[in-house]
Amino acid sequence: MTDFREDVNVEQATFGAGCFWGAEAGFRVLPGVLDSRVGFARSSKDESALIEVVQVDFDARVISYSRLIEHFWTLHDPTSIDRQGADIGVKYRSALFINSDQQGRLALAGIQQLEASGRLGKSVATVILPLGEFQRADEDQQRYLEKHGAGACSL
């Protein structure tokens, strides 16, 4: 984990966008993203499903949670139910795991704005779930695309 300075306002966000390798690479390029890790999350309300996620530490003085959500929409198909490209199953579901009531309100507002824009032509299938458990993936899965010189997940 990165050593954080005192002059930053570190917050954490967790996103399920299908292949966690691609999502991690997509978030790491944003100014204000300080660190990330991939793994599996489940909601405190649903003990059955583990979802592939990227967990992002960000400086809220540089980038907002709302801006991260806007970027999240560009990293995957938020209209697809339990599928991203060739990856099929509940673990590839589009999900916003929230850590607070404020993140919940911003996540809901983000979905409503995306729906209202009409740019997708379909309903948003992204679920908003309270973060219950995060299991970090093995070290060889962390920054996988960087380590292997790949720019995106293979479909």
Q: CA 71 to CA 12: how far, in whole Å?
A: 15
Residue 19: C-alpha distances to residues 7, 92, 110, 139, 151 (Å)? 33, 7, 21, 16, 13
What confidence score (pLDDT) does residue 155 get?
39
Q: How confident is the model at residue 123 (pLDDT cuts 50, 70, 90)?
A: very high
pLDDT tens digits for range 66-111 = 999 999 999 999 999 999 888 899 999 999 999 999 999 999 999 9
Mean pLDDT of the region 37-61: 90
**Annotated catalytic residue within 19, 53, 96, 106:** 19
What is the residue-averaged pLDDT of the chain? 90
Q: Is the pLDDT of residue 47 over 90?
A: no
Whether 12 contacts 57, CB under 8 Å: yes
pLDDT of 9 over the 50 cut: yes
Mean pLDDT of 17-26: 92
Tell me if residue 153 is catalytic.
no
Q: 143: part of which helix (H) or strand (E)?
A: none
Residue 5's pLDDT band, with cuts at 50, 70 and 90, is low
Contact indicator for 104, 127 with CB cutoff of 8 Å:
no
Phi and psi, residue 71, nearest 5°: -70, -40
As a whole number, mean pLDDT of residues 132-151 equals: 86
> Mean of the pLDDT values across residues 28-52?
90
Is residue 135's pLDDT more than 80?
yes
pLDDT digits (tens, 9 = 90+) for 87-98: 899 999 999 999
What does DSSP say about strands 83-84 and 94-98: parallel, antiparallel, or unpaired? unpaired
Q: Percent of the chain having pLDDT more than 70?
A: 90
